[in-house]
Amino acid sequence: MASSPPHLLFATIFLLFAAIFTQEAIASKPVSNLKLNLKILQDSIIKKVNENPKAGWEAARNPRFSNYTVGEFKYLLGVKPTPEKELLGIPVVTHDKSLKLPDSFDARTAWPKCSNIGRILALNMYMYMALVIQGHCGSCWAFGAVESLSDRFCIHFGMNISLSVNDLLACCGFLCGSGCNGGIPIYAWRYFKHHGIVSEECDPYFDDIGCSHPGCEPGYPTPKCVRKCVNGNQLWRDSKHYSVSAYRIRSKPYDIMAEVFTNGPVEVAFTVYEDFAHYKSGVYKHITGGALGGHAVKLIGWGTSADGEDYWLLANQWNKGWGDDGYFKIKRGSNECGIEKEAVAGMPSTKNLVREVAGIDSFMDASL
């Protein structure tokens, strides 16, 4: 039998690898086409959660997803796992246990002058909202990273700046993953270190509509990388902001808490189940429904509920109509849904900064 041409053999291997990688990335069993067309919000899930005395959280019909199908919701879950062989080369940060941590912590109140911590990002430079709609794109991996680095520029350098999700999403390319079809969080931080990230003013987020209307499928394609500021008076290269490091935090609650307490918010990823779309308040833990994919968010603090449940405090990108005014709490200390497995971050750099910002010293620009 004649052998296949080399280019066909290569294409077959590539497609096979892509299929395997995609299945691993969503961390869930394949969902049938019938289920993909069902509405993500289900009264049966709400009932099961709210009637469970041990749930610890309230479920409701969040208006953010009133028109979403399961398939449309899945498209927002854009985290791909870090390849195992890559994990060995990523620095892991630990913290000395001599640091005394408070029982509760909220980065918004710890650094009140850094208003971006609570605002996260705006849809565009004219529409500042307390929380931003991620839109109809699997860009959570990019939002979580950009938001956290923006916060750290304020915390360490006193700069209240919003950095550009669009730059990372469009210009990192295959180095980060697949744009709107998902990416790898730690690769986003590597992009900050090696290529920098422009401001939101220079390159606003491309999706200023979101998917609150019906008929959103197929999802938005990844925007093109133009490397040009929308304001002709700004230069792309002059708008770049860098990090000096990209690292993981050891998967222990204390180390994650110490990192946030010392350096600011971090990006975390976790597996999303069907019931999470219904979250309204309380301390979330998985109760019912199948796994749909991986999602990245910004972790800003921790605490303990009135019922004695330890939790993490996180900011999402699904606007104020979802969850607890756009935020949510999830059980702390048991790696709920993988939330403690792969926290990532990096330190901001003074590279390319105009030195009119007080308090920026060269020693702060040391790589970990």
Enzyme catalytic residues: 140, 295, 316
Residue 275, SS3 per DSSP? helix
Could you give phi then psi for residue 265, rounded to 5 degrees? -55, 150
Q: Is 73:292 a contact under the CB 8 Å cutoff?
A: yes
Whole-number Å distance between alpha carbons of 176 and 181: 11
Q: Which two tokens stand for residue 346?
A: 């990096």
210: number of Cβ within 10 Å: 18
Q: What letter would DSSP give residue 82?
A: P
Whole-number Å distance between alpha carbons of 210 and 195: 28
Helix 253-263 crosses helix 140-157 at what angle (to 10 degrees)? 50
Report H helices in 158-229. 165-171, 185-194
Whole-number Å distance between alpha carbons of 85 and 264: 28
Q: How many angstroms separate the Cα of 191 from the Cα of each of 74, 151, 245, 346? A: 26, 17, 10, 11
